Structure 1
Amino acid sequence: MAASLVSSTASYALKPFDSQARRIPRQRRNETRTCALIGQVDNTNLTRRQAALGALVGGLSLLQTAEANAFLGIGEPSKEEIYKEDTAKILKDVGAALSLDKGDPTKEDAMNNVRKETNAWVAKYRRDNKFGGRPSYGNTYSALNALAGHFNSFGPTAPLPKKRLERIQKELEDATRMLGRGR
């Protein structure tokens, strides 16, 4: 049994453009189309309106998927929002690490975590001119630099001198306040 693909050629009877109607005539309704299945003929017609509606629905469904959002850049947080989140997180983590007592067994791990976060934050925003001139950036960078310098010289468990600790805490507070103002 040899299966054959049934196809019919659609003949279009196009008339010259009718200036009175201002449109090209539609195709005939009784025209047959070939289905993808072998030996079956589909007698349904697809109008231009239905095709346009299908294309519109397909396009909108692409915009709603997460992959399309990441690919097209739609719905992603802006650089401004990412900066605020990153800076608020590092300010909170540094404040929590500074509040630990000298004898706390988790202090060394907390300070090493702050060091990694500091390196990542500085590397991400140091060369970005959009954020480099902000007061929140300057205060955060100054506090992180003072903290990193102390722990590079004296180790992660060494206590901060009172004057240095007060200055770092003041800069962290100022940075938090400026970040809240969007500066």
Structure 2
Amino acid sequence: MDNKLDSTALDLLFREARTQNGWLDKPVTDNQLRELYELLKSGPTSMNTSPARFVFLRSTEAKARLLPALATGNVDKTDAAPVCVIIGYDRRFHDKLPTLFPHRADARAIFDGKTELIESTAFRNGSLQGAYLILAARSLGLDCGPMSGFDAARVNEEFFPEGDVAVNFLCNLGYGDKSRVLGRLPRLSFDEVCTLL
């Protein structure tokens, strides 16, 4: 049996998908966000650490707390997006390992007091989960506008003041205005970036 996705699915996830810069006035429901999370949470992370934390900003008031931290070019599109997700990573992820990785009794202790290991594990695996969010959103018919271009210290102070969670990147979600999409930019070829040994 061939388990490969068909061409339509590959177009939806990769080939025809674009970063969105404009948004239609069409809401994203809480049920859609729950369905999105139910998909993305199944993506693999090392030792099932699952360090990503997601803050879904849906209201005008919630987004108003974020806008002052954004680079100028990101303000209007974020304000117009139905949802802006703050993708963070939890530096206390190892507290959940007795539940998430129960077959290894010492899993939590592997990270205790090891700041560099905690930071690299949380950031790396949280980044993976942020990518899963994009793919899950696209698979559910939502468009995405992932972004850098923000003051991380301001975002952390506003949304994660306790200091255990830190922002990684932002992603607008909704239904994109196709008239605002840029053409596909060049990509590097296989031979430029890949090595076969």
What's the TM-score, normalizing by structure 2? 0.22
- The structure richer in helix per residue is 1
Bigger RCO of structures 1 and 2 (CA < 8 A, at least 6 apart): 2
- The structure richer in strand per residue is 2
Larger radius of gyration: 1
